[in-house]
Structure 1
Amino acid sequence: MKKIIIAIDGFSSCGKSTMAKDLAKEIGYIYIDSGAMYRAVTLYCIEHQLFDEKGQVKEEELKARMNDIHISFRLNPETQRPMTYLNGMNVEDRIRTMEVSSHVSPVAALGFVREALVRLQQEMGKEKGIVMDGRDIGTAVFPQAELKIFVTASPEIRAQRRYDELKAKGQEASFDDILYNVKERDRIDQTREISPLRQAEDAILLDNSHLTIQEQKEWLKTQFLKATHA
């Protein structure tokens, strides 16, 4: 069976990462979480005071430090899930906090950040046999991907999922704050100048608002089989 690149794009909190991880594990592909890479840069900015008092990124300072930011993924031997590492430190849990979520969009909108991470992502995908999810994988990172999926769900359903996820981790969460964050990230992601969030012309739309995890898994496996036997 030929190896392909699978690009999964879509709105925040649609469960893209979970579905991409599950699919990669089932078909024996490497999973790359592009969103985690932008979150790692955001965490670096927070830890190095690269946001001003208004929450704006100190662009020139970040630009000067980009070569000091090293992002990699390593498999957790127990769960066989990839964990995100920033400069050698496991930051998987820290990049999933609301603090990072509320700062990531302006960082991801910076051209020099996107250029650096897109280069890294393209390098990771040279051998094919990967599943990558994000905002611009099928449009900017791998426009040649053999299978492109664009995921959507209503803002309210996405906010509820995020709320449930944070509460399950024992973190404080406000549904209204999360809903505002979801809508604000949609606005920023869709209107940024560089690689805005949009559905690629050849992407298959998946609205998972009312799908069970099992229904989604079966749908994804069907699309994968179609693409590899085309």
Structure 2
Amino acid sequence: MEFKKCYLDLILVPLSFMISIGYHIWLWHKVRTQPLSTVIGTNAHGRRLWVSTIMKDNEKKNILAVQTIRNTIMGSTLMATTSILLCSGLAAVISSTYSVKKPLDDTIYGAHGEFMVALKYVTLLVLFLFSFMCHSLSIRFISQVNFLINCPQDSTIVTSTYVSQLLEKSFTLNAIGNRIFYLALPIVLWIFGPVLVILCSLTMVPVLYNLDFLFGDSKRGRMSEIANEV
């Protein structure tokens, strides 16, 4: 009977992961091939221009650069702190013997065995740990940018291109950490059954699509012209 109950978990949960991973693979392809059609690619292009402008006029804009980077560090620190706190809470739940580890209601769909319940919490723990690691590495790179962006322009090693690359690594890791954090939401709902997992994933993909892509042919055309000029 337990094996029959886990049929939905074996089908719907991997399908939910495949939907989320497939969308982000397609998004990565779009960022690589048509960057100015995506918010990620457009923002990356703007950050490269920002670094170049700041380093060319460093004497007047050095305070602006430090304040902007400080705000970015604060955002990554908040997400890293939230992730590690959730990890600590989940670790306490997994190691405890309280009834909170048991299903909240025996009428929910899916398997209710101890192994399946433990698998749900361990999956959440792993996702939050990876999110914490990505945000920590993001803070590491952005801290390096905080020093290097104020270097003099006559340096042949620390150029605006090098600083831009470090900044992009930081924002890429920050974006990956955020997406992993978002992926934990369907897993949280998995505690209440696998049906909610697939429904959550099917809802998140259209929402992320509208947040990740720019719409309007005229806007894309102007952006392409700017990119060609640069």
TM-score using structure 2 length: 0.23
Structure with bigger helix share is 2
TM-score using structure 1 length: 0.23
